[in-house]
Amino acid sequence: MRAVRSTVPRSCPPVFLAAALLLRLDDDVYVAYSVICTHLACEVLWERDTNELFCPCHNGVFDPADGEPVAGPPERPLPRIRLEHRGTAIVAVGEDLAPQPLLVQGVDQVQRPAPRPLQPGGE
């Protein structure tokens, strides 16, 4: 095996990459979620035929509209990936535990639903 020299300067902060799914729910509605199941960290897959997010390890199913579990052992929603509309691009800018879709209005406007308040004793 040959070693590859990095071209990233040492002064750069570490970058952590995580796998995510970007879904287009409607013409102007996009959502993205972590692909790590909240049950036992298996990979969540998009099932086009059934229109659901599916974890094959223990038959967990998540709603693509909000990431909430709808079947199987998972009890917590999938972490949502925050999205921003920049010009013609959709950019992932962080991770959030309160799933909210990105509603894109026109080319230069971004509209987000109001944040969901935390429930007492909830996450």
CA dihedral 52, 87, 98, 31 (to 10 degrees): 0
pLDDT digits (tens, 9 = 90+) for 72-119: 999 999 999 988 888 888 888 888 765 444 555 444 444 444 444 444
Average pLDDT over residues 50-70: 94
- At residue 1 the predicted structure's pLDDT band, cuts being 50, 70 and 90, is very low
Q: Phi and psi of 109, rounded to 5°? A: -110, 140
Residue 8 pLDDT exceeds 60: no
Average pLDDT over residues 40-45: 92
Residue 57 pLDDT exceeds 50: yes
**What is residue 26's predicted lDDT score, i.e. its pLDDT?**
86
pLDDT digits (tens, 9 = 90+) for 18-33: 688 999 988 888 899 9
**What is residue 104's predicted lDDT score, i.e. its pLDDT?**
52
The residues spanned by each domain of the chain are: 20-111
Q: Would you give the DSSP letter of residue 74?
A: -
Fold of 20-111: Rieske Iron-sulfur Protein (2.102.10)
**What is residue 114's predicted lDDT score, i.e. its pLDDT?**
46
**What is residue 119's predicted lDDT score, i.e. its pLDDT?**
46
Question: Which tokens go with 50?
Answer: 């059934």
